[in-house]
Amino acid sequence: MAIIRRWAAAFGYRNILYLALVAALVLLSLAFPANNPSNFSRAAWYFALMNWAAVSLVFFFVNTVLVVIALVKGQSPVIPLIACVLPVLCVVVPGIIFG
């Protein structure tokens, strides 16, 4: 249990929360009923995409400010830098995987 706590603290609790939010949005969009059973609901995916974009934009800008504050104070900006990269990775990784 101590290893998980150290890893979570090193990765950042808000980063874990962001990844959980992205996973929840994907699962929520899959829960919407589709008009065609063999096809996914586009409205559900657009709903998830719009919510993800709004949350990611705020998340990115807040963490960019936290990077600047950490640099000014002379602290390590690693966790906010990871947080700045997460929204970009949420776009790039599925693009690479699903091409």
**From CA 61, how far away is CA 47, in angstroms rounded?**
22
Q: Which residues, 6+ apart, have CB-to-CB distance to 56 below 8 Å?
A: 87, 90
Question: What is the reported pLDDT for 49?
Answer: 81
Q: Is 25 helix (H, G, I), strand (E, B) or coil?
A: helix
Residue 39 has pLDDT above 70, yes or no: no
pLDDT digits (tens, 9 = 90+) for 56-84: 888 899 999 999 999 999 998 998 898 88
The domain limits of the chain are 2-98
pLDDT digits (tens, 9 = 90+) for 10-37: 888 888 888 898 888 878 777 776 566 5
Question: What is the reported pLDDT for 34?
Answer: 59
Q: Is 39 helix (H, G, I), strand (E, B) or coil?
A: coil
Question: What is the reported pLDDT for 31?
Answer: 75
**From CA 86, how far away is CA 14, in angstroms rounded?**
11
